[in-house]
Amino acid sequence: MKVRSLGAAALAAVFVLNGVTVNAAVTKEDRRRARWAASYVVGTQNPDGSFGFGSVGATADGIVALALAKRGGDAIDDAFAFIATQDVSSLGDIAKVTQALIATGRDPHDYQGRDLVQEMLDSEQPDGRYGESSTVFSHALVMLALAAAGAETGTEPTVWLGEAQCDDGGWQFDEPSDDDDNKRCLSKSDPSNDFSTSDTNTTAMAQMALVVSPGVYPGVDPFEFFRKMRDKAGRGWGYDRTFNVTDANSTALVLQAYVASGKPLPDGAEKALSRLQYDKCSPKGPGFAFTYDDADEDGVLEKKERTGPDAYATIGAIPGLLEAPWPYPAAAAIRDDAPLGC
């Protein structure tokens, strides 16, 4: 298989086709669910303005989720105020903040006296890797953020990412595949100390990055990897072979990869994600559970076995609900959070 880039000239078309406002596959019910989820995210915002577990990356993800749902304008302002007080120095954080700025109509070329786009471009190494020791996941994030910014890049980063692929069609979070790895990127010489193998999250981000970056790289079909990794009980996806129960974040990312690549979504995949959301008038709020706890170990994942609603799971689920893959364009008119009307 060849993973083909659409190139910079087609980037605007990708935005039009995949933008949340025009994606015909997204139903009114999906949009309503996204608004409920956004309301939950706003309600769980930390006192300092951060989202989720309070990191720069999680907060930037929260901003993007609210922008896609077109809700939470004041919460977004508070979140940016939090980020302004933090050390935004890792490439992954720079990429996520860049995408958050673009999604909300802000300028990543002029962020607190910094040109974040140029900083990412300047980090490219001779072999195409962004950053001397960045993870595969961060490299893909940078590729996507640069695509969102419309930056001109060469083909070297695409080739580097393509060559980082594991032989099973996935990518692992930390390092590219090498000769010491088996097909799942597990070290053959020291497997007990290798904690990272091919996973759905990194694979989804890598595939989305390859779709919108210049260059063509012949690789293993990642959708065969997704097919094999699918959770038969929950009908979604878990993180990897060890943590393989359907979770909201992983399922959303895989759905985004399918949409970005123009692939039809597998039967039941959308329902697998929406089933993790609590009702809008639930006492727990309309957030998403991260996953299931099959307490009776019968192999059947029932709604009553969902874990409690979780802020970061909800943040991750919103782009999947809206079938909106990276990179994200600027959202139209972001409103303040609206009451749910329970």
Tell me how far apart the alpha carbons of residues 133 and 175 are, in angstroms, rounded to a whole number. 9
Could you identify the residue written with the tokens 């910079």?
8
Cis preceding linkage at 327, omega within 30: yes
Structure tokens at 6: 């659409």
Sign, Cα dihedral of 157, 160, 165, 171:
negative
Q: Specify the pTM.
A: 0.92
- pLDDT (tens, 9 = 90+) of the chain, 342 residues, equals 333 333 333 333 333 333 333 355 789 999 999 999 999 999 999 999 999 999 999 999 999 999 999 999 999 999 999 999 999 999 999 999 999 999 999 999 999 999 999 999 999 999 999 999 899 999 999 999 999 999 999 999 999 999 999 999 999 999 999 999 999 999 999 999 999 999 999 999 999 999 999 987 778 999 999 999 999 999 999 999 999 999 999 999 999 999 999 999 999 999 999 999 999 888 888 999 999 998 888 989 999 999 999 999 999 999 999 999 999 999 888 888 666 667
Tell me how far apart the alpha carbons of residues 147 and 128 are, in angstroms, rounded to a whole number. 15
Cβ pair 102, 328 in contact under 8 A: yes
Cβ pair 95, 137 in contact under 8 A: no
Question: 172: which strand partners?
Answer: 198
Cβ pair 270, 277 in contact under 8 A: no
Tell me how far apart the alpha carbons of residues 321 and 324 are, in angstroms, rounded to a whole number. 8
The structural domains of the chain, with segments of one domain joined by +, span: 2-321
Q: Which fold has domain 2-321?
A: Glycosyltransferase (1.50.10)
Provide DSSP, 25-56. Answer: TS-HHHHHHHHHHHHHHHHT--TTS--TTS-H
Q: Is 87 exposed, middle or buried (0-12, 13-18, 19+ CB in 10 A)?
A: exposed
Tell me how far apart the alpha carbons of residues 337 and 167 are, in angstroms, rounded to a whole number. 45
